[in-house]
Chains A and B, each alone.
Chain A
């Protein structure tokens, strides 16, 4: 009887010890598998982010080149041709007319110099790196307002803080896409852009009074453009909300929690590749 009791105590203890040890070993194996899986997912995310960032940079460079080429063709070349013609006609002109033409040409050349200076400050991803998102959006809106294509009202609220170079770059690229869509397709006369810097939330809103669209009427290209914006927003931890209906304009809102740590997008994070 006593031996039986000892056997019960020893066996139950050994069984429980084995069970607990087995559970811990099983957990360790499971955890290591999860770590490997998680690492692979992070690498995939990192790779996707790198590709998307590169794509955004290339698109911005292309946009910049198109803009520069258009400016050179439509503005600078025209003005300089006029100056050249004007200078050619100076030879046969009277003294008074000659002075007038020279003054006029000087003013035109000064205008060209100004335009070239604006072009040199033209929008590129280096601009964001150097001046940040707010300054870059201000420059862009000033440029569009100057062109007279649309009237843009820019509103900045709260104390400005940096969102990290890479996040700002992607945000600006989304902004550019939204702006281009408004200019090309909306037929809007007014566009309100607002940037709100709250301690735990950053929002960028673009609201136009154009023709709007219904999501069902979008073709593949239009639909994929909007999807692209949403995907890019997701990649930096932002949420893009696009609201529009026929005749009621379009509103695009980007919301981002600046405190949320995102791998690869935050320049200060130890795992960031920047």
Chain B
């Protein structure tokens, strides 16, 4: 792997994430509650990225941060769904999944996939599956209660698209990483794929934060 290319890709991603955080922070007061949560999610991703860089520099591994990232990002990306769903049952499922996954991720980091050595795929896979499920359910809810605002101007649409895209493609990425972990040339390809996914995801989250308006959500409330 070309270290300069890796350096550029990594830091460009951090800059992109910082830009999204700035958008969220500037528009924070105008955002509805789920998108305020999304801003916090972007902030947590940025902090985790910085921590990851520090860990790589100090300990030559970012696995512990990945353990943290797996659960923290799930919580912050599931919480907007909690506010967006109208069904009390789905809301309960979200809360329940968070309550179950927190101790599970700790147990996993201590016993099944040691936090200093292995990436937390046992946590990633169920959380990504749950996020795909939530995004499909939200698309269904959107079809039941169509808003008057054009779809491309709805923050909800961009957020849900971002989650749908991220969860499905990251699933594939984790699968490919496991298969080609010992094949350096292909692992580079998977590495670039991983960054392509997070780049697109971050851009979509940025669009979601740019398009969301609290008033639109209030007017279109059913």
A residues near B, CB below 8 A?
2, 5-6, 9-10, 12-13, 16-17, 19-20, 23-24, 27-28, 30-32, 34-35, 38-39, 261, 270
Neighbouring A residues of B147 by C-beta, 8 Å: 35
Give bound CA distance, A24 to B172, whole Å: 18
B139 at the interface (CB under 8 A from A): yes
Structural contact, A20 and B168, CB atoms closer than 8 A: yes
| Known contacts A20-B168, A20-B169, A27-B139: A6-B146 contact under CB 8 Å | no
The 5 closest A-B pairs by CB, nearest first: A34-B146, A35-B146, A38-B146, A31-B151, A16-B172
B169 touching A17 by the CB < 8 A rule? yes
A-binding residues in B (CB < 8 A):
139, 142-143, 146-148, 151-152, 157, 161, 164-165, 168-169, 172, 176, 180, 183, 185-186, 189-190, 193, 219, 221
Please indicate the chain B residues that have their CB under 8 angstroms from the CB of A34 in the complex: 143, 146
CA distance A32 to B150 in the complex (A): 8
Contact assessment for B172 and A32 in the assembled complex, using a CB-CB cutoff below 8 Å = no
CB distance from B61 to the nearest CB of A (A): 25
Whether B146 lies near A31 (C-beta < 8 A) is yes
Closest partner residue, chain B, to A9 (CB atom): B189
Given A32-B151, A270-B219, CB of A13 within 8 Å of CB of B172: yes
Chain B residues lying within 8 Å of A19, measured Cβ to Cβ, are 168
- Chain A residues with Cβ below 8 Å from B152 are 28
23 contacts between A and B (CB under 8 A): A2-B186, A6-B186, A6-B189, A9-B176, A9-B180, A9-B186, A9-B189, A9-B190, A12-B172, A12-B176, A13-B176, A16-B169, A20-B164, A20-B169, A24-B161, A31-B142, A31-B143, A31-B151, A34-B143, A35-B151, A38-B146, A261-B221, A270-B219
B146, B186, B190, B193, most chain A CB atoms within 10 A: B146
Given A12-B176, A20-B164, 17 more A-B residue pairs with CB atoms under 8 Å apart are A5-B186, A6-B189, A9-B186, A9-B190, A10-B189, A13-B172, A13-B176, A13-B193, A16-B172, A20-B165, A20-B169, A23-B164, A24-B164, A27-B139, A31-B143, A35-B146, A39-B148
The distance in angstroms between the C-alpha atoms of A13 and B147, with both chains bound, is 33
Question: Chain B's nearest CB lies how many Å from the CB of A46?
Answer: 13
Q: Which residues of B contact A20 (CB under 8 A)?
A: 164-165, 168-169
Q: Is the interface of B mostly helix, strand, loop or mixed?
A: helix
Smallest beta-carbon distance B88→chain A, Å: 18
Nearest opposing residue in chain A for B147, CB measure: A35
Write the nearest CB–CB distance from B171 to chain A, whole angstroms.
8
Q: Give chain B residues whose Cβ lies under 8 Å from the Cβ of A35.
A: 146-148, 151
Residues of B within 8 A of A23 (CB): 164
In the assembly, what is the distance between CA of A19 and CA of B152, in Å? Answer: 20
CA separation between A2 and B186, bound complex, in Å? 8
Alpha-carbon distance between A10 and B152 when the two chains are bound, in angstroms: 29
Whether the Cβ atoms of B180 and A16 lie closer than 8 Å is no
Residues on A with beta carbons closer than 8 Å to the beta carbon of B143: 27, 30-31, 34
Q: Chain B residues near A39 (CB, 8 Å)?
A: 148
Contacts of A31 in B (CB 8 A): 142-143, 146, 151, 157
- A38 contacts which chain B residues (CB < 8 A)? 146
Residues in A with CB closer than 8 Å to B142 are: 31
Closest to A42 in B: B148
| A16 and B186 within 8 A (CB) | no
* Shortest distance between the CB of A263 and any CB in chain B (Å): 11
| Chain A minimum-CB-distance residue to B145 | A38
- Bound-state CA distance A30–B144 (Å) is 11
B157 to chain A: closest CB distance in Å?
8
A24 contact set on B, CB distance < 8 A: 161, 164-165
- Tell me, in angstroms, the Cα distance from A8 to B161 when the chains sit together: 25
CB-nearest residue of chain A relative to B154?
A: A31
A6 to B18, CA, bound (A): 33
Q: Report the bound CA distance from A2 to B188 in whole Å.
A: 13
A169 to B221 CA separation, bound complex (whole angstroms): 26
Question: How far in angstroms is the closest Cβ of chain B from A157?
Answer: 30
Partner of A16, one of B146, B151, B168, B190: B168
By a CB distance below 8 angstroms, the chain B residues around A16 are 168-169, 172
Whole-angstrom distance between the alpha carbons of A262 and B20 in the complex?
Answer: 37
Chain B residue nearest to A1 (CB atoms) is: B183
CB neighbours (8 Å) of A9 from chain B are: 176, 180, 186, 189-190, 193
